[in-house]
Amino acid sequence: MSDWDMATVGLILVGCSIIVVGISIAAMLLGILHSFTPFLLLTAIVLVVIGAAVVLYVDRGSGQDT
């Protein structure tokens, strides 16, 4: 089993955030609205961007080592 590195954490962050956004949008389409739904969507979008930035940073850093 491999160790956890920053790229793996970034990919898990992106994947889970996309799942949360999908569930939130599905709930909104079904008519289940809460007052915190827009904040949840915004937070998940920010986490997707942060996770993608981490993955790109690690990928760029590993490319310079070789």
pLDDT band at 65 (very low <50, low <70, confident <90, very high): low
Which two tokens mark 62? 């590993």
Given a cut of 60, whether residue 61 has pLDDT beyond it is yes
Give this prediction's pTM: 0.77
Predicted confidence (pLDDT) per residue in 18-56, tens digit: 999 999 889 889 988 888 888 988 999 999 999 999 989
CB neighbourhood size of 17 (10 A): 20
pLDDT band at 2 (very low <50, low <70, confident <90, very high): low
Q: Determine the Cα–Cα distance for residues 49 and 62; give it in Å rounded to an integer.
A: 20
Contacts of 66 (CB under 8 A, 6+ apart): none
